[in-house]
């Protein structure tokens, strides 16, 4: 699929580039041809304007090589044309308008190109009111036309070469353009597969436990309480998974409205610390807060609370007894920094790049209480931070602990 799209993008880009090149090439050639012929016409006109009744014969006989003139008046004709060319030129002139001036290119024979200027003589002629007739002056422009022909050949060769080079370059550039799309498609497929797997597991557990209950129809509810509790626990787990998936899906679609207002990160941290104090005490952990009162951000308090809950919950899960979880806030100019650090088991460097990927879990078995989630918490945390136009990063050393750093725009 992506190969076909890649080829189509390349062809589309080539078509656009070639259309632009053809239009620009035609414009360049037309302008160059116009300038060349305009210069030739100016030379012919200057020669005609130098003629009068007294010096026509002299002008005609002293024209430079490659220039010819023919003057027809009532008193006679003067020309330096050769006998084999003059009749052909007269026949060609006779087929064109006689009452007005004109200019055109004429090929007397193969390999020759003349620029011909025709001027009628009369009351408005260059002699100021002489007898009726006309002046025809021609000049050989074969060299100029060769230059224009070379220009046209160069434009064609450059266009052909550009078509080949553009095709090759476009094919590789299309691959670079499609690379993030291909990666997003791969991750989407992985996401669907992982979500299907995660949904199938609790559903299978619920179904198997309910099947056991249905097989024991002769027993009381109290006798089947273990299977019912198992099904209920998995139903809750499934409900949380679906809720997290909906949160991420709405976040991707930008369909989750944020109730933005000034939020004191110190007060936010105090609420989270108060919430996790019993959990930390039960697990033998020290929960420490170090906050600056001026660290205020503009955000959704509920989403920011959810963000800290996710990070603190992870820190408590992967910190051994006697360890410390620290929440810290600082204001730096127009930015507020929130840090959640622990002295836990840490994360291997190879896993840090994927730590925010959906359904990615380093090793659920390493949690102190043996519990594990679905690998969606940090993905939701990243979405919350990005929805607030912030950044989240992680640093960790195995055996020493992990620190999540969040940068949010400061209020005001």
Question: Does residue 371 have a pLDDT over 60?
Answer: no
Q: Which two tokens stand for residue 331?
A: 């204001």
Among 25, 76, 61, 67, CA closest to 45 = 67
- 158-171 pLDDT, tens per residue? 989 888 888 888 88
Question: Does residue 255 have a pLDDT over 80?
Answer: no
Question: Does residue 125 have a pLDDT over 50?
Answer: no
pLDDT of residue 408: 93
- 183-242 pLDDT, tens per residue? 777 777 777 776 776 777 778 888 888 888 888 878 787 778 888 888 888 888 788 778
Q: Are 351 and 336 a contacting pair, CB within 8 Å? A: no
High-pLDDT (> 70) share of the chain, %? 90
- 242-251 pLDDT, tens per residue? 877 777 777 7
Partners of 52 in the β-ladder: none
The least confident of 55-64, 266-275, 380-389 is: 55-64
Q: Which fold has domain 181-252?
A: Helix Hairpins (1.10.287)
Question: Does residue 128 have a pLDDT over 60?
Answer: no
Name the class of domain 261-409. Answer: alpha beta
- 263-281 pLDDT, tens per residue? 999 999 999 999 999 888 8
Task: Give the position of tokens 């994360």.
Answer: 347
Taking the C-alpha atoms of residue 7 and residue 175, their distance in angstroms, rounded to an integer, is: 9
Average predicted confidence (pLDDT) for the chain: 84
* C-alpha atoms less than 13 angstroms from C-alpha of 152 in its C-beta half-sphere: 11
Among 359, 347, 340, CA closest to 398 = 347
Question: Does residue 130 have a pLDDT over 90?
Answer: no
pLDDT of residue 129: 47
DSSP, residue by residue, 298-324: EE-HHHHHHHHHHHHHHHHHTS-TT-E
pLDDT of residue 341: 93
More confidently predicted of 312 and 254: 312
The least confident of 23-37, 45-59, 78-92, 334-348 is: 45-59
């Amino acid at each position: 699929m992506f190969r076909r799209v890649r080829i189509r993008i390349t062809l589309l880009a080539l078509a656009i580039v070639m259309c632009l090149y053809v239009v620009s090439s035609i414009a360049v050639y037309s302008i160059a041809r116009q300038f060349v012929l305009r210069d030739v016409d100016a030379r012919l006109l200057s020669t005609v304007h130098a003629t009068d009744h007294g010096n026509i014969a002299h002008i005609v006989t002293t024209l430079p090589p490659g220039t010819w003139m023919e003057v027809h008046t009532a008193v006679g004709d003067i020309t330096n044309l050769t006998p084999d060319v003059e009749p052909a030129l007269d026949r060609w002139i006779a087929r064109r308008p006689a009452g007005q001036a004109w200019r055109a290119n004429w090929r007397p024979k193969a390999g020759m190109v003349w620029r011909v200027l025709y001027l009628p003589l009369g009351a408005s002629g260059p002699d100021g009111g002489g007898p009726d007739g006309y002046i025809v002056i021609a000049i050989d422009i074969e060299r100029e036309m060769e230059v224009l022909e070379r220009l046209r050949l160069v434009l064609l060769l450059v266009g052909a070469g550009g078509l080949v080079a553009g095709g090759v370059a476009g094919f590789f550039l299309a691959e670079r353009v499609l690379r993030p799309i291909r990666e997003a498609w791969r991750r989407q497929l992985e996401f669907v597969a992982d979500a299907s797997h995660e949904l199938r597991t609790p559903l299978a557990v619920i179904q198997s436990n309910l099947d056991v209950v249905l097989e024991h129809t002769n027993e009381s509810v109290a006798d089947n309480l273990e299977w019912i509790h198992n099904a209920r626990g998995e139903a809750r787990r499934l409900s949380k998974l679906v809720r997290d998936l909906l949160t991420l899906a709405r976040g991707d679609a930008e369909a989750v409205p944020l109730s933005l207002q000034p939020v004191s990160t110190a007060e936010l941290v105090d609420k989270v610390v108060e919430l996790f104090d019993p959990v930390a005490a039960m697990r033998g952990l020290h929960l420490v807060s170090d906050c600056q009162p001026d660290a205020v951000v503009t955000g959704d308090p509920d989403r920011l609370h959810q963000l800290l809950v996710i990070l603190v919950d992870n820190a408590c899960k992967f910190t051994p007894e006697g360890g410390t979880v620290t929440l810290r806030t600082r204001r730096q100019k127009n930015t507020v920094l929130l840090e959640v650090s622990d002295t836990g088991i840490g994360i291997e460097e190879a896993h840090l790049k994927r730590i925010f990927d959906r359904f990615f879990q380093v090793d659920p078995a390493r949690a102190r209480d043996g519990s594990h989630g679905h690998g969606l918490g940090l993905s939701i945390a990243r979405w919350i931070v990005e929805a607030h136009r912030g950044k989240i990063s992680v640093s960790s050393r195995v055996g020493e602990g992990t620190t999540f750093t969040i940068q949010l725009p400061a209020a005001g």
